Each structure stands twice: as C-alpha cells, then as structure tokens.
Chain A
C-alpha cells in the first residue's frame, strides 16, 4: 500500500509538469520561438528591399537617427523596469509591482508614441506606405514591431488592474513573469531591427 501511495504522489507531480518547466512558461517559450520566424521573414523582406527606393526618398533622407536612438534607449530601459516588476511580484509586493508595471507601460507607450511621430514625419516627407519597396517593407517591419509593443502595453495595463483583484486563475507572479518574457523578446527584436535598419548604411 505504501508503494501505491508513492505512485499517487508521483501522479500528482506529473500533472505539475514532466519537464520541470510550467505549462505556461513552456508555452510562452514556444510562442517566442515561433515569433522569431515571423520577424525573420519580415527582416528578410526588408533586407531584400531596403535599397529599392524607386522615385521616393532614400533612408538617409528621412531617418532621424538621434531621435530613434533616444526612443530605442527608452524601450531598452523598459526592460530594466520590467525586471523590477517581476522581482516585486515574486516578493508579493503589490505596490512595487503596480509601480514598475506602470512605468514599463509608460516607457513602452513613449516608444510607440515616438514611432507614431516618426511615421507621421516620414509621411510628410513623401514616404508613404506604397511609395517604394523600401517604404512598404520598412513600415511593415517596424509596424509589426510596434503592434507587438502595443499588445505588451495592453497586457501590462491589464495586469495593473488585475493586481488589485482577489480572484485570479493561476499565479499572478508567474503571469507577470510571462509578460516579462514577451516584453524582453520584443525589446531584443528591436535591437536587431534598429541595427539593421538605422545603423547599417545602404
């Protein structure tokens, strides 16, 4: 009977996870793996078309590298505040978590705001979405990234609301950690995109 009891115990742990990584975390890592291919496709498209400006403005004519560098720096700093949010959440410090989640969301919103400004400025300089292959692939790639950041902001703000709720299925700290994984991924992708688009001359 004792033997059977041991098996029972094993059953229970098996449901926790056979690999030792929780279901949601493994799921998130797999999703991010898939996202790599998504951005891989978009980046490849941009690299193929970045020199094809047609009659439209060239990258050098429209890019404002100091401006984008600052907004990139803001986005990278949001990774730091995200880490602080995760760390507060693990300590069950609700006030700290709320604070750092909000700061992260604000930094992300600043970045997206910068992107909106940048797009508007480019448009007024004659770089529409369909102007040239360069413009289409530039807007598609950075637009996709911007949408990812926006989705992240929505998740962060939702979490700020949820933190106050007593009822929440699953662990809040782990959910925040998952949002963190996503957030860091989106930041890392931006480092690649920023380097390829803005720093490498055509």
Chain B
C-alpha cells in the first residue's frame, strides 16, 4: 500500500495528536497554539478563519457606511434638511464613500479570495500564512484608525477623491484628512501584502493538473484583481505621502499659490482610482461566473473568453483614468484619446455580459437566491455600464460632471455590480463556510427589497443629475426645486425612501445570518450540485482543507468526478458527493503539517497605527511605532513555521517538531 507510506519518523500533527492544552503563558518565548477560544482566532494563520474575519470586518463597516448613507438621504429627503450641518455633511459623504470602497467592498472581496482561492486550486493554505494574518490586522487597524477621526476633531471632509485645494489645511483645518491619508496607507499595506500573497498562491500552489486554463473563474478574476492591486496601490501611496507631507511637514505639492499643479493629485489619484473600480467589481464578476453555471446546470459559456476579457479589462483599465478629468482642461488630444479607450473597455465588459447570458440560455434554471442576485447583477450592472458609456462621450460628460448623474452611474456599477455579486456569493457559499444553509425564504425578501430599493434610490438620481442637481450639495430649497414631473423635491424623496428599503433588505440579511447561526440543521454536503474543487471537502472544510490533494483533469473538476457521459453523450451522475468524500477520507494523507499560529502578525499590524498617530501628533510616538514594527518584523522572520514542543503546556512529548517539511510555510 504505497498510499500510506510517507516518511513518518518524527511526526506531529498540531490538530490531531498534538497536546490539546495550549500554553497559558502570554509571552514572546512561547507561541500561541490554542485550537479553541478567542486566541485561536486572534493569532490564527488559517486562511479560512482569516477569510471569515475579513468578512465580519467588512460587514461591520458595511453597516457603518450604510448608516452614513441613510443620514445623507435623510438630510436630502425634504427641503432645508436639518439632520446634518454643512460640515458634518461633508464628512458624511466622504466617509461613506471611503468606508464602502476601502473598508467594505475591498475587504469583502479579500474575504472571498482568502477563503476560496486555496480551496479552489486544491491547496492547503496560502503561500504566506502569517503575512495573510498581518494583512487582516493591518486592514482592521487601518479601518479603526480612519474612523477614529470622528472622535478626534472631525473626519475627512474633502470627498473620497480628495481634490486640492479642498484637501489643503486652509479648507480642511481639522486632522480628518491626516487620519484619512494615513489610514488609507495602512489599508494599502494590507492590500499590497494580500496581493503578493494571493498571486504567489495562485501561481505556485495549484494542485497537480490545475493548469491556468482549468482554474475556476473566481480564482482567475481574483488573480487579475491582485495584479491590479499590486500596481495600483503604490500609486495612491505616493499621492497620500505627498498629501501628508503637504499637510504635516510644510511641502506645497498641491498648493496653487506656491506654483503647484493640482492636476498632479488628480492624475495620481485616478491612475490608482480607475483600476480600483475594477478591483471592486471583478471579484463579483468572478462570483457570478461561478454561480450562473451551477444554477443553469451548464458549463460557463466560453470560459476562455471570460478569462481573457477579465484580463483585458485588467490591462485596458490602466488607460482610461483621465475620463474622470474631462472637465479639468486636459486639452482636446487627451480628451479624445481617453474617450476612445473608455469606449474600448466597454467591449470586454460586454463580452462578459454576453457570456453570462448565453450561460443562462437553454439551461435548466434554478432560481435560488444566489442565482437571483447573479441575474440581477447582469441587469443592473448593464444599466450602470450604459450610463458609463455616456461618460465616454466627452461633451456629454462635461455636462454631467459633478452632478447626481455620476452618483447614479457609480452606484449602479458598484451596488449593482460589486454588492449584488457579493450577496450572491454569500448565499452560494454560506453552507460551505458555515455548514448551514441561509434561509431561501428570507433570502427572497432580502433580494427583492434590495433590488427595488436600489432602483428607487439610484434610478431617480439620473433624473436629478440631468436636471442639474450638483453632487455633494448638502441642502436644497423648495423655491429652486422646479415644478412638474421632474421637480427635484419629489425625486429626492423617492430616492430617500429607496435607501430605507435597501436598509430593510440588508437588515433581513443580517436576521437571516443570525437565524442560520442558531439553526441546528446541517447543510447537505453538496447542496447546489456544484462544479469546482472547493465543494470537494467537508462543510465547513477541515483545517487542512483536503484529506487528499486532488489531481485535476478537467475544468470543473468536481463536476467531472460526479458526472460521466453516457452512450448518447448526455452527462449522467455516476457518483454522489458523499461517495467522493468517503473515498477521500479513506485515502487521507496521514501526516499533514499546518503552520502554527503566531503573535507577530498582530504585533506588526499594531505598530502601523501607532506610527501614524505619531506622524499626526508627536514624532517620538512615531519612532516608538517604528521600533514596534522593526521588533515584530524580526520576530516574524525568525519564527519557525510550526510550534516547538516547549510551546505546549505541558510540553509536548510527541517528538521533535522542528526540522520537518511543512505542507505550507
């Protein structure tokens, strides 16, 4: 039996035969080894736990950002709104956008990527598990740091793209923008580390036979996104540093009176900012491309086209940034070039829409909540895409710039694209992650309320914008709202009511989550008759993901293990998921080594906000933060991947743990 014969002289399995009593000592000498309780989460390096914590963090900030949005809509629901004053209103829309973009959609996409990439490619963890944990904690500390400004004199108030001169000390004398610039640098570090980690994972850790053209489509889109992050994050980092030097150290990078060119900020911001749009939406495209085939009972139509159109979006996304700046006086040549590239990028996006539609075509459609959200994404994103093409026409864009028409467009692509896709992913993968099904009945209510709500909220904004209501206007008066069907008052009210409907929809989702958590019924092993490798493990997956690392022979490997062609060429089910699983369990690898938990990622991440505080308030604190970072970096570098026997209480006697080959390191 060659199958069980692996060299097994000095064996220790942290999760099987290691001592269960973790060290009770906090300290740098003993490392955390707990497998239960809060320590098993805070010090974990398991990509699945990290993914769940990314998701919980993102959901928390989604609620915060949602409350900010509701306050904005409440202020604009009636003439002479009294809910917020002008200053707080400015902070509110700035932080609404910042929270939703950097603290909700990006971390939520990271949650899916962290959790599912290793499972989809047949790996046991990511390439750098401790850096993965560091990314999570850096994101959390950055997110908290950003929002602390609310309590320390006021949040950032320059709009999420923070144009000069509004970002200068003259127009924004509080520390809000300092917190914003430094907080985004911290979350940027998290994104950069995550991007490197996931690219290496995707390129290096695929199961045997998992060629790039057999990669599940979500993993493909995540790969494109990580490359976009890798190259976009440093550009915004430069911009944020320049802003920080201007506000805190007397430089004048964006100060026109000192001869500076404020367009520099706009270019740097949008060279980051436009790829950022695809960073937000491509993960959802990936999710939808997973969900539609499963619930259409058909393979994804034109897999290579979906892959390459995603990659094409990734490339062309770098050549369209100046369409955000048509009204800034770039000159006719630039405007013409960027108009054309903007129209060009609609092509690969259109290819995706066509592929999704043709995946549905002729399929046996199964309208689960996940499927409904995915189909809704196609429809709603297409509306947003079409209003986007109207921005490619520079004269029309000049008319629309800084009006509610832009607000309508960006919400149709980001809510109708990114958010609906993420919700589709929640319903599709919930049983995989938590082992229980979300209620489909509540899900249906959640779905319809969100769809009706979003169209009520963002649909009227097209009208408001074309009627000339400027973006970021904090108040409107009866006298200037116009008359008849297109009067601003009526449509602002509709929009505000719509935002409440969305809120109720999201609330139903949260209720659904709580009820599911309390429910006892476990989910079936393969509830959707799914196609890709992440379903070829238990629900939820074991710590080491797969008992046997699968060898991949097909795109949609799991489907091809369940189904075979009969003599008429029709696919018939020959094996159930349960059969495949029990085969796997019998053939299980006996000795699997997973990396041990670690304190260092958390310590390293805590050094970042300390340093940032120091930059704003007092340089010695920054120096102290730097020392913490340096200390933690050394700790991280010198720490072995697995715990030593002496890290356990009482010390492990299962033999020498050091010097073993680890599954991942």
Contacts of B192 in A (CB 8 A): 31, 34
Given contacts A37-B234, A37-B235, A41-B238, contact A14 B206 (CB under 8 A): yes
State which of A1-9, A90-98, A180-188 sits at the interface with chain B: A1-9
- By a beta-carbon cutoff of 8 Å, the part of chain A in contact with chain B is 1-2, 4-5, 7-8, 10-11, 13-15, 17-19, 21-23, 26-27, 30-31, 33-35, 37-38, 40-42, 45, 48-49, 52, 54, 128-130, 132-133, 136-137, 140, 154, 158, 162, 167-170
The chain A residue sitting closest to B659, CB to CB, is: A167
Name 24 A/B residue pairs within 8 A (Cβ), A-sorted. A7-B208, A7-B551, A11-B207, A11-B208, A11-B551, A17-B204, A19-B203, A27-B127, A35-B234, A37-B232, A37-B235, A38-B234, A38-B235, A38-B237, A41-B234, A41-B238, A41-B239, A49-B260, A132-B258, A132-B259, A133-B259, A133-B260, A136-B245, A158-B634
CA distance A133 to B257 in the complex (A): 11
Which has the most chain B C-beta neighbours within 10 Å: A26, A35, A154? A26
Contacts of A45 in B (CB 8 A): 238, 242, 253, 264, 268
CA distance A129 to B246 in the complex (A): 10
The chain B residue sitting closest to A2, CB to CB, is: B2
CA distance A31 to B128 in the complex (A): 14
Q: Is the CB of A34 within 8 A of B234?
A: yes
Q: Is B250 an interface residue (CB 8 A)?
A: yes
Q: Is B199 an interface residue (CB 8 A)?
A: yes
The chain A residue sitting closest to B239, CB to CB, is: A41
Closest 6 CB pairs of A and B: A41-B238, A130-B250, A5-B2, A38-B234, A136-B251, A37-B234
Q: Is the CB of A23 within 8 A of B231?
A: no
- By a beta-carbon cutoff of 8 Å, the part of chain B in contact with chain A is 1-3, 6, 127-128, 192, 195-197, 199-200, 203-208, 210, 230-235, 237-239, 241-242, 245, 249-253, 258-261, 264, 268, 549, 551, 587, 589, 630, 634, 637-641, 658, 663-665
Q: Is the CB of A33 within 8 A of B230?
A: yes
A161 to chain B, nearest CB (A): 10
B637 to chain A, nearest CB (A): 8
Q: Is the CB of B259 within 8 A of A52?
A: yes
A24 to chain B, nearest CB (A): 8
Contacts of B264 in A (CB 8 A): 45, 48
CA distance A2 to B3 in the complex (A): 9
CA distance A128 to B2 in the complex (A): 72
Given contacts A5-B3, A31-B192, 7 further A-B contacts (CB under 8 A): A10-B551, A18-B203, A23-B200, A37-B232, A49-B253, A52-B259, A137-B253
Partner of A38, one of B127, B238, B549, B587: B238
Given contacts A14-B207, A14-B208, A158-B634, contact A30 B3 (CB under 8 A): no
CA distance A145 to B205 in the complex (A): 33
Q: Is the CB of B249 within 8 A of A130?
A: yes
CA distance A168 to B260 in the complex (A): 50
CB < 8 Å A-B pair total: 142
Given contacts A14-B208, A18-B204, A162-B638, contact A4 B253 (CB under 8 A): no
Q: Is the CB of A8 within 8 A of B1?
A: no
B518 to chain A, nearest CB (A): 39
Contacts of A41 in B (CB 8 A): 234-235, 237-239, 268
CA distance A34 to B251 in the complex (A): 25
Q: Is the CB of B259 within 8 A of A129?
A: no
Given contacts A5-B3, A45-B242, A52-B259, contact A140 B208 (CB under 8 A): no
Partner of A140, one of B6, B245, B261, B268: B245
Contacts of B268 in A (CB 8 A): 41, 45
A31 to chain B, nearest CB (A): 6
B644 to chain A, nearest CB (A): 10
CA distance A31 to B231 in the complex (A): 10
Q: Is the CB of B200 within 8 A of A27?
A: yes
CA distance A39 to B242 in the complex (A): 13
B586 to chain A, nearest CB (A): 12
CA distance A10 to B259 in the complex (A): 62
Contacts of B238 in A (CB 8 A): 38, 41-42, 45
Given contacts A37-B234, A133-B259, A169-B638, contact A27 B197 (CB under 8 A): yes
CA distance A116 to B440 in the complex (A): 65
B632 to chain A, nearest CB (A): 13
Contacts of A136 in B (CB 8 A): 245, 251-253
The chain B residue sitting closest to A168, CB to CB, is: B638
Q: Is the CB of A170 within 8 A of B665?
A: yes
CA distance A136 to B244 in the complex (A): 12
CA distance A46 to B233 in the complex (A): 19
Q: Is the CB of A31 within 8 A of B196?
A: yes
Contacts of B231 in A (CB 8 A): 33-34, 37
CA distance A67 to B233 in the complex (A): 35
A151 to chain B, nearest CB (A): 10
Contacts of B205 in A (CB 8 A): 14-15, 17-18, 23
Contacts of B637 in A (CB 8 A): 158
Contacts of A14 in B (CB 8 A): 205-208, 549
Q: Is the CB of B204 within 8 A of A133?
A: no
CA distance A22 to B1 in the complex (A): 31
Q: Is the CB of A140 within 8 A of B230?
A: no
A12 to chain B, nearest CB (A): 8
Contacts of A17 in B (CB 8 A): 204-205
B587 to chain A, nearest CB (A): 8
